């Protein structure tokens, strides 16, 4: 799972947990507040009844009391309203039949004795749960009676449920909006954190591929910023070390070149008979010395080429050349070598190819390496086909062989310095090479604004393609 998804999921989970906690707390607080409000309302209604009952006691105006009771009965939660005198005799009741009657129910008896608010809960004959609110009516310290209202618990519960559901819905909508905002914020935060990490990964990849001048730009002022700074410092130091190494290799190569040239010159003098006639054994030993010196010379030249190339100092001098002639001459150089392995070289070069602007020496180097590779990595009785196609704007060259092929994982790597397919050295006879050839070939083709790539099937063969601009 990607880091961005992991981070977003973790942040979203955190938001969900926080929201859940806050929502539950809010819901409970809202519920408690609602219960208190209902209770307060009920007390206010009984208090109102107390005031009206007081007035009734002074004025004996029954209409006032009846009107107020009727007004109260409009409230669906109220089951009954009554006012008793201090002996418990009912002076006003929603049920007229009970007027003048003495309330002898345990609830009524208890209510008659009260000095302050008394809330009693009971089940009536119909099985309904009732909350009875009783408040004494006092005038100048004299108890006139008791005002009582019975509230239906079922209706109250219904009302509370409705209000609580409404509140729940409101909280849900708010929580949902907050969750969406939370997810978006988590995504943005993840993006800002992941972006520098991505740059660091890319930088490490580039350094791993040998691009030591990679510098990553991270403007964060946090730990990631410091990491990027350290990374850039490390890249600079690596580049410096690489320069030092290149300098060392170049100077050693130069120093080796002159003694090697004189060794090769003296070997040639031996062959020319400067020291008299050579015996068969001497000729064999000198041939080995000549071949080894040639290989060493080629290696030194390759090292110097790579050093130049890496410093961007490899130059090409373009001239108008007949490319097919160059290719034919190069093929000619490999006839002896291919014959030794009974390898057939087929050349599919059409006559009507245009002259193109290239550095002929460098292009010869390209053909040399591709042909020598093809011969080196193709077993006896194989076939090598060389072809040039004139496509739009480009000449496309291909060198195919029926050799051992290249594993898919190595197809890109073989163009890197010193990269050789593992385990191949033991299978081929003769010179093993150093793995610099294709690196040099690639940079020569790039300097000519062309492209190079390879297609291969293990055990069946490989085709190396490269293009050169078809312009004069
Ligand atoms: N035609 C081919 N068939 C199979 N493998 C190849 C072929 N050409 C190149 N390779 C693989 O790519 C590697 C790199 O080739 P490259 O030409 O760079 O080096 P080299 O031939 O080993 O040595 P050098 O060219 O420096 O003498 C080879 O060692 C080989 O493993
Ligand atoms: Mg090679």
Residue 269 pLDDT grade (very low, low, confident, very high; cuts 50, 70, 90): very high
Rounded to whole angstroms, the Cα distance separating 323 from 335 reads: 19
User: Phi/psi at 417 (nearest 5 deg)?
Assistant: -55, 135
Q: Alpha helices, DSSP H only, in 341-384? A: 360-376
Rounded to whole angstroms, the Cα distance separating 264 from 352 reads: 42
pLDDT at residue 220, rounded to an integer: 79
User: Phi/psi at 431 (nearest 5 deg)?
Assistant: -65, 135
User: What mean pLDDT is predicted for residues 298-311?
Assistant: 88
CB-based contact 307:246 (threshold 8 Å): yes
User: What mean pLDDT is predicted for residues 276-291?
Assistant: 94
Say whether pLDDT at 425 is over 80.
no
The widest CA-to-CA distance across the chain, in whole angstroms, is 160
Structural element, H or E, at residue 229:
helix 223-271
Q: Which residues line ligand 1 (CB under 6 A)?
A: 302, 369, 373-374, 377, 401, 403-404, 406, 414, 419-421, 424, 433-438, 462
In the chain, the percentage of residues whose pLDDT exceeds 90 is: 54
User: What mean pLDDT is predicted for residues 435-444?
Assistant: 94
CB-based contact 50:137 (threshold 8 Å): yes
pLDDT tens digit sequence for 243-257: 898 888 888 888 998
pLDDT at residue 194, rounded to an integer: 86
Cβ-proximal residues to 61 (8 Å cutoff; 6+ apart), any chain: 55
pLDDT tens digit sequence for 393-416: 899 999 999 999 999 999 999 999
pLDDT at residue 428, rounded to an integer: 66
Residue 140 pLDDT grade (very low, low, confident, very high; cuts 50, 70, 90): confident
- Take residue 130 and report the two structure tokens written for it: 């009732």
Structural element, H or E, at residue 446:
helix 437-447
Strands 356-358 and 78-85: unpaired
User: Which ligand places an atom closest to the C-alpha of 415?
Assistant: 1
370 CA distance to ligand 1 centroid (A)?
Answer: 8
Say whether pLDDT at 431 is over 70.
no
Give strand pairing partners of 135.
147
pLDDT at residue 281, rounded to an integer: 95
pLDDT at residue 237, rounded to an integer: 93
What number does the ligand 1 atom closest to the CA of 399 have? 1
Rounded to whole angstroms, the Cα distance separating 345 from 401 reads: 9
pLDDT tens digit sequence for 187-238: 888 888 888 888 999 999 998 888 888 888 888 788 888 999 999 999 999 9
Domains parsed from the chain with CATH numbers: 3-159 (3.30.450.20), 223-310 (1.10.287.130), 319-469 (3.30.565.10)
pLDDT tens digit sequence for 161-192: 888 888 889 889 998 999 899 889 988 888 88
Dihedral in degrees, nearest 10, Cα atoms 339, 340, 341, 343: -10
User: Which ligand places an atom closest to the C-alpha of 461?
Assistant: 1
pLDDT at residue 426, rounded to an integer: 64
Minimum CA distance residue for ligand 1 atom 19: 435
Residue with tokens 């926080």: 18
Say whether pLDDT at 349 is over 80.
yes
Say whether pLDDT at 131 is over 80.
yes
pLDDT at residue 96, rounded to an integer: 84
208 CA distance to ligand 2 centroid (A)?
Answer: 23
């Amino acid at each position: 799972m990607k880091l961005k998804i992991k981070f977003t999921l973790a942040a979203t989970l955190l938001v969900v947990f926080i929201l859940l906690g806050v929502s539950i707390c809010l819901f409970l607080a809202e519920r408690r507040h609602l219960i208190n409000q209902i209770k307060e309302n009920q007390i206010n209604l009984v208090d109102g009844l107390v005031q009206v009952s007081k007035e009734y006691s002074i004025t004996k105006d029954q209409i006032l009391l009846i009107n107020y009771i009727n007004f109260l009965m409009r409230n669906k939660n109220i089951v009954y309203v009554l006012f008793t005198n201090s002996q418990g005799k009912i002076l006003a009741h929603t049920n007229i039949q009970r007027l003048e009657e003495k309330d002898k129910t345990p609830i009524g008896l208890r209510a008659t004795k009260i000095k302050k608010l008394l809330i009693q809960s009971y089940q009536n004959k119909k099985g309904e749960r009732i909350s009875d609110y009783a408040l004494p009516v006092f005038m100048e310290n004299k108890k006139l009676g008791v005002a009582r209202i019975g509230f239906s618990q079922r209706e109250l519960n219904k009302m509370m449920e409705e209000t609580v559901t409404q509140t729940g819905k409101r909280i849900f909508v708010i929580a949902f909006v907050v969750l969406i905002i939370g997810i978006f914020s988590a995504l943005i935060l993840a993006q800002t954190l992941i972006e520098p990490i991505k740059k660091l990964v890319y930088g490490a990849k580039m350094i791993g591929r040998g691009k030591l001048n990679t510098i990553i730009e991270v403007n964060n002022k946090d730990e990631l910023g410091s990491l990027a700074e350290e990374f850039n410092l490390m890249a600079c130091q690596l580049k410096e070390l690489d320069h030092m190494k290149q300098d060392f290799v170049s100077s050693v190569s130069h120093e080796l070149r002159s003694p090697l040239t004189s060794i090769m010159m003296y070997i040639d003098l031996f062959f020319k008979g400067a020291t008299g006639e050579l015996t068969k054994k001497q000729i064999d030993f000198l041939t080995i010395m000549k071949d080894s010196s040639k290989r060493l010379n080629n290696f030194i030249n390759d090292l110097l080429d790579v050093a130049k190339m890496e410093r961007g100092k490899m130059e090409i001098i373009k001239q108008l050349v007949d490319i097919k002639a160059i290719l034919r001459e190069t093929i000619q150089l490999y006839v002896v070598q291919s014959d030794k392995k009974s390898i057939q070289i087929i050349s599919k070069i059409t006559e009507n190819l245009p002259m193109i602007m290239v550095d002929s020496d460098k292009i010869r180097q390209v053909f040399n390496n591709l042909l020598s590779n093809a011969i080196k990595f193709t077993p006896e009785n194989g076939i090598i086909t060389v072809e040039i196609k004139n496509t739009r704007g480009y000449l496309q060259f291909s060198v195919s062989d029926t050799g051992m092929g290249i594993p898919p994982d190595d197809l890109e790597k073989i163009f890197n310095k010193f990269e050789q397919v593992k385990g191949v050295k033991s299978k081929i006879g003769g010179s093993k090479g150093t793995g610099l050839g294709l690196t040099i070939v690639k940079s020569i083709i790039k300097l000519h604004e062309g492209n190079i790539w390879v297609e291969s099937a293990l055990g069946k063969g490989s085709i190396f393609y490269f293009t050169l601009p078809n312009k004069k």
